[in-house]
Amino acid sequence: MAALRKSGAAVKSTGNGDVIMPCTTVLAGKLATNDRSTMIARTDDGHFDEKKLI
């Protein structure tokens, strides 16, 4: 965790020893890329949370 703090990564502690790192999303539209493609990238750095639709 000390290495993450030194790197500048956003790190939060839950107080019970768990570490939460936020998700990151990068979006680029047609006018932002050289070949006019669109890009979407996402990382989920935290714990798994099961999603349920009811």
What's residue 19's pLDDT? 63
Mean pLDDT, to the nearest integer, of 38-50? 77
Using DSSP bridges, classify how beta strands 24-28 and 19-20 pair: parallel, antiparallel or unpaired: unpaired
| Nearest by Cα to 21 from 29, 30, 12 | 12
| Section 4-27 average pLDDT | 63
Domain edges within the chain: 2-43
What secondary structure letter does DSSP report for 32? G
pLDDT of residue 53 exceeding 80, the answer is: no
**Contacts (Cβ under 8 Å, ≥6 apart) of 29:** 38
- pTM for this model (two decimals): 0.43
Helix (H) or strand (E) holding 39: strand 39-43
CA atoms of 30 and 37, how far apart (whole Å): 5
